[in-house]
Structure 1
């Protein structure tokens, strides 16, 4: 018999495979960007994204991972989800716990779309590294709990999906060690459009595609809370398709063995 953690992992992988097939075969998905493959990522000792760490995911030329931070937010998150659905494409959403608590229906939309739901702290301090260690850990843990309660109705000793991104990439050796001990993988990014800066959707798309065309692969960071990003995403997905880029969807691999907090 499968344990609780093994059962959740099996269900996650089965759902991911089912959704992948359903998306690719669904009417209206022919000729869309789609999701090229699902990559199972071992969260243990994981620190990836060359904007923050020396290494990144093992992606081939032309492969990208789409990630969105800071949500959910009414209006913009829904628009991003609609654009992803229209292109039969999946992404990872690093959500803020207090936003998750305020908008649980949006979390359920994220999950219903087959996307990965991950964590971005409870209050999005800039930065966690500037807080006393105990307060930073409490904010991280509250983010795990608040997000899981909003998305799944309950929270256990470990986060449901052990992926975390530091707000502003503001990590510290002590916080990285804490998450590593918890079995939680840390994601940075390889490129972005800098969508925290005001610009038009067209300007943002041009900047992002120029950077991607130079780099050719990587974890892409965007914010589903930004109006300009929500307006850009449909054209961005079309540009990825027309230029032959392939989207890789990340899910956790291995048994869920994150230790309970002390």
Structure 2
């Protein structure tokens, strides 16, 4: 087991939808895709996603974790957040430090929506594994500090939410060991839409759903920096709902969880 979870009861989920200031503040979440359950995972020794690692999260058939990389980005990130809020659905955003510093208000929108905010390095080198070890570590650590300062107003010794994804999945044994020692969990993915390749939103939806329908579960990698993905999101969430998929929201176990800034 890579963590434990709780299901969101209907009344509790409806109450969450009505929290003042929440991105979920709609009249009702009834009949929406929603968030089926919250999965707490211990970040220590965590390396998940079968595109890169032998194991993944403890997901049942039909369960998916929605993740977005490379943001925040004006225009597209807001559109993704609106689509998620419309369906009362929560996701994980792995953000780049320099983008976070440039757009702190977007980070606060992500947090206000109840989403998990993780890290994706400071500058998104392709790849960290191709850099000298000390430079790669410096880029990772600067990303932690930059994101935390932009999102929460200050950075401490430990990343606020210890989840990290390598740009381009470009890890190395040494960097994985470093993050493990730091108590930071590493996310890969189980499937993706390949949204770094130009295509129409309809083409992207068909590609992603064909992959998901074969696999039936997993961590899904998307990018909130692309217009084609932002435009696809309402139809994608509707298709997940129509086909009976369930969204799982991932948070770190223990006292530190994804919360809105104070």
Alignment of 1:77-88 (within 5 A): 77-88=77-88
Conserved? CA contact 1:45–1:185, under 8 Å: yes
Offset from partner CA, 1:55-93 (integer Å, 9 cap, x none): 000000000000000000000000000000000000000
Between 91-100 and 20-29, report the one with greater CA deviation. Answer: 20-29
Structure 1 residue 22, shift from structure 2 partner: 2.8
CA distance in 2 between counterparts of 1:193 and 1:69 reads 12
Structure 1 residue 24, shift from structure 2 partner: 5.4
Alignment of 1:6-155 (within 5 A): 20-23=13-16, 27-155=27-155
List gaps (5 residues or longer) in structure 1: 1-12, 257-262
Between 54-63 and 27-36, report the one with greater CA deviation. Answer: 27-36
Corresponding residue for 1:222?
222
Alignment of 1:150-165 (within 5 A): 150-165=150-165
Conserved? CA contact 2:121–2:144, under 8 Å: yes
Offset from partner CA, 1:124-179 (integer Å, 9 cap, x none): 00000000000000000000000000000000000000000000000000000000
Conserved? CA contact 1:67–1:219, under 8 Å: yes
Corresponding residue for 1:179?
179
Structure 1 residue 28, shift from structure 2 partner: 3.1
- The CA RMSD over aligned residues, in Å, is 1.5
CA distance in 2 between counterparts of 1:198 and 1:86 reads 26
Corresponding residue for 1:249?
249
List gaps (5 residues or longer) in structure 2: 1-5, 19-25, 257-262
SS at the partner of 1:65?
A: strand
CA distance in 2 between counterparts of 1:50 and 1:93 reads 19
Q: Which runs of 4+ in 1 moved over 3 A?
A: 18-21, 23-26
Conserved? CA contact 1:24–1:34, under 8 Å: no
CA distance in 1 between counterparts of 2:203 and 2:29 reads 28
User: How many corresponding residue pairs?
Assistant: 240
Corresponding residue for 1:4?
none
Conserved? CA contact 2:14–2:28, under 8 Å: no
SS at the partner of 2:40?
A: strand
Residues 1:198 and 2:189 are matched in the alignment: no
SS at the partner of 2:68?
A: strand
Structure 1 residue 254, shift from structure 2 partner: 2.7
CA distance in 1 between counterparts of 2:242 and 2:173 reads 41
Structure 1 residue 30, shift from structure 2 partner: 1.3
